[in-house]
Structure 1
Amino acid sequence: MFEISWSELLILGVVTLVFVGPKELPALMRTLGKYAGMVRRHANDFKAQFDAAMREAELDAMREEVEKMQTSINAEVMRAKTSIGDAGKLARIEPPSTANTSASEKQDPPAHAAVLKPPMPAPPGMES
């Protein structure tokens, strides 16, 4: 991130030790650690709030998509209902004409159509 090499860190540590002194160095490190922890907590809080806002935005987008789908489905259902209702009204208004049917359609079905087939014989060896 900062691209600091080990040699640069060593020089920084020696300069800090010379200017701060060995007695005050632990207190300085504790203070730096405390502030680093505070910065990290604030960064994590910001990240959590940002993630929550993104989830909410995605949820709103998904909710809008579902509402659009629901309205289109409702419109299709209503169109289907009206077309079925119109077809039903037309069927009630215009009864089917019998003039167009042929003589063979007007006759009863053949008598052999209603005859049932006899049961099949049992296979050999299974006879009771």
Structure 2
Amino acid sequence: MIDLGVSKIALIGAVALIVIGPEKLPRVARTVGTLLGKAQRYVADVKQEVNRSMELDELKKMKDTVEGAARDVESSIQTSASDFEKSWSEATGSDASTATDELPGMVVFPEYKHPKKNWRLKTGATPQWYKARSGVRTKAQSGAARVARFRPQSGRSSSF
């Protein structure tokens, strides 16, 4: 890189002042500054892109190693499960399909059946007399209407 000291920068400034002139020098200095700023931003963007690509490569390698480990674990679980089924069938004296279908002491539940349309409305509806008795609101009322309903009337005289 070019070694620029204070004396060299002062020499360059003096030459620029003589060559360009004092009227145009500030405008040229601003233009050079903006161009240098753009160049620095471009270099920084390129560095970030290179870093991202390197991190992406590292993540891909890590993903491959994790997937390989997961495959190894899956295969070991499958082999141990098949060994367990073989030993279970040998111990019980029956084949594995009948042993898993009906185990002693296990309750078999019926298969799920989707309820008919409006099932919740028919069976889950609470009767109106129960709602009125327990104080459940059945009609929605706005806040302003509720205030107006319970506001004392000016025509009535209240005696305490």
State the TM bucket, normalised to the shorter chain. Answer: 0.5 to 0.7
SS at match of 1:22: coil
How far 1:23 moved relative to its partner?
Answer: 1.3
- What is the aligned partner in structure 2 of residue 63 from structure 1? 63
- Return the letter of the residue paired with 2:25: L
How far 1:2 moved relative to its partner?
Answer: 3.0
How far 1:29 moved relative to its partner?
Answer: 0.3
**Structure-2 separation of matches of 1:25 and 1:32:** 10
SS at match of 1:15: helix
How far 1:3 moved relative to its partner?
Answer: 2.4
The alignment-based identity, stated in percent, is 25
Give the number of equivalent residue pairs.
93
Alignment pair present for 1:74 and 2:71: no
Alignment pair present for 1:30 and 2:33: no
- Return the letter of the residue paired with 1:88: W
Q: Deviations over 1:44-89 (max 9, x none)?
A: 3223322332332222222212211110110110121122123223
Aligned-CA RMSD value: 1.9
SS at match of 1:2: coil
Alignment pair present for 1:17 and 2:32: no
Greater relative contact order (Cα < 8 A, sep 6+): 1
**Structure-2 separation of matches of 1:19 and 1:89:** 99
Unpaired runs of 5+ in structure 2?
94-160
Unpaired runs of 5+ in structure 1?
94-128
* TM-score, normalised via structure 2 length: 0.51
How far 1:19 moved relative to its partner?
Answer: 1.4
Q: Bigger CA drift: 45-54 or 29-38?
A: 45-54
Runs of 4 or more, structure 1, over 4 Å off, are none
